[in-house]
Amino acid sequence: MEIVLIDLSQTTDPSGVLDGEDADLGRIAETIFDPATGQLDPVLDHQLQPHGSRILILASVRLAPRWRGFGLGVLLAGTAIKKLAGGARAAVCSRRRCTTPGKATSTRTQSSGRWPARA
């Protein structure tokens, strides 16, 4: 399991930090941060509670093949988020399927980068 915590009050360019770390983190950064300013997307920022300065990013969860298919990945990810989310404004992740041996590609969901308006 890989979890990244970004403290917006201590990081001047969170988008740049994430983009430099990993391609998947870069894609998450493109979705939640405004490319012009490097700060949280204004529409997303408006929808989040104003409390907390950290963004928790669940970058990956990998289980040994024999443990897959029992819902353990979701359980472990949820537990980790709950334990580490103190002081966080949001927890985000990129949804993707795991690859099986012999298959070179994974299925990824593409985000439009747009956030639905709050009702």
Please write the tens of the pLDDT for every residue from 31-43: 999 888 888 899 9
Sequence-ordered strand ranges (E) for 33-110? 54-60, 88-93
* Residue among 57, 58, 52 nearest 33 (CA): 57
Residue-level pLDDT at 97: 58
Q: Summarize pLDDT for 77-107 with one digit per residue, the tens.
A: 999 999 998 889 999 987 765 555 433 333 3
Residue-level pLDDT at 64: 92
| Residue with more model confidence, 69 or 35 | 69
* pTM (2 d.p.): 0.72
Residue-level pLDDT at 119: 42
Residue-level pLDDT at 50: 85
User: What is the percent of the chain with per-residue pLDDT over 70, rounded to a whole number?
Assistant: 79
Euclidean distance between CA atoms 53 and 10, whole angstroms:
9
| Residue with more model confidence, 54 or 60 | 54
Q: What are phi and psi of 20, to 5 degrees?
A: -80, -15
Euclidean distance between CA atoms 43 and 45, whole angstroms:
5
Q: What is the DSSP letter of 75?
A: H
Residue-level pLDDT at 99: 56
